[in-house]
């Protein structure tokens, strides 16, 4: 028995695509039988195997494919030739399009966009107003957020575990073609990050090991991240 069916309800989205609402015909994963789902254009958009699901007002259309145990929820959009699979979750107002792939345990949320030939996988998170596109790969424990603009592998550096919490720190190119930092509760420009490290990790007679490591990480990011190159979406 198929895990979902069409309810008969349709709508036309902003791109003129006719979408059909789905409903669970059996219980699977966290979805109970009879649960209303989101909107897809055709059966080829959502796998009938495993626990993949589209919920809320989310839309999946074009040649996009959601499979494995992946979820698309909220007002998210997945379209073009994009694929979401594994245990990935696309939520909020996020859009995934083009030939983009979101997989593993990755999360794309907020108002984030992932497009082009971009890959987001592992335990990576893309959120806020971040845009990941072109040939970018975001993986591991990366946290790309704020106003990030990442279109090349060289637009991103993840360093860790470092610091008192043995956490990962992500440095990335932002919309101003400067370097921003995501580290714990800190989100901002790299110069502000260095100032904060000096203020909170410094000692009267010198700097702590953690302050030194964070500053070295920042210097590495400044050397590695290329602020000039740009991939097309």
Give pLDDT, residue 32: 97
Whether 6 and 19 have beta carbons less than 8 Å apart is answered as no
Distance CA 13, CA 78 (A): 13
pLDDT in tens, 97-118: 999 999 999 999 999 999 999 9
Pick the more confident residue, 201 or 217: 217
pLDDT in tens, 56-92: 999 999 999 999 999 999 999 999 999 999 999 999 9
* Cα distances (angstroms) measured from residue 218 to each of 76, 163, 187, 188, 211: 34, 13, 14, 13, 11
| pTM of the model as a whole | 0.94
Query: Rg (Cα) of the chain, in Å, rounded?
Result: 20
pLDDT exceeds cutoff 90 at 174: yes
pLDDT exceeds cutoff 80 at 233: no
Give residue 148's pLDDT band: very low, low, confident or very high (50, 70, 90).
Answer: very high
Percent of the chain with pLDDT over 70: 96
The average confidence (pLDDT) of the chain is: 95
N residues, the chain: 233
Pick the more confident residue, 229 or 86: 86
Distance CA 129, CA 164 (A): 28
Give pLDDT, residue 33: 97
pLDDT in tens, 5-23: 999 999 999 999 999 999 9
Give pLDDT, residue 209: 86
pLDDT exceeds cutoff 80 at 204: no
Give pLDDT, residue 207: 72
């Amino acid at each position: 028995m198929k895990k979902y069916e069409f309810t008969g309800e349709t709508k036309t989205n902003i791109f003129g695509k006719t979408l059909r609402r789905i409903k669970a015909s059996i219980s699977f994963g966290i979805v109970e039988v009879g649960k209303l789902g989101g909107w897809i254009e055709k059966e080829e958009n959502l796998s009938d195997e495993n626990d993949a699901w589209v919920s809320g007002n989310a839309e999946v259309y074009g040649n996009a494919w959601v499979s494995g145990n992946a979820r698309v929820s909220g007002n998210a959009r997945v379209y073009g030739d994009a694929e979401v699979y594994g245990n990935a979750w696309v939520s909020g107002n996020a859009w995934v399009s083009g030939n983009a792939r979101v997989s593993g345990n990755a999360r794309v949320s907020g108002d984030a966009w992932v497009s082009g030939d971009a890959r987001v996988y592992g335990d990576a998170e893309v959120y806020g107003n971040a845009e990941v596109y072109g040939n970018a790969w975001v993986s591991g424990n990366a946290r790309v957020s704020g106003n990030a603009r990442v279109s090349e592998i060289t637009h991103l550096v993840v360093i860790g575990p470092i610091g008192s919490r043995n956490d990962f720190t992500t440095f990335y190119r932002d919309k101003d073609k400067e370097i921003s930092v995501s580290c714990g509760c800190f989100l901002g420009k790299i110069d502000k990050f260095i100032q904060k490290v000096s203020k909170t990790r410094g000692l009267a007679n010198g700097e702590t090991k953690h302050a030194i490591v964070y500053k070295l990480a920042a210097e590495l990011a400044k050397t590695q991240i290329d602020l000039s190159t740009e991939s097309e979406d």
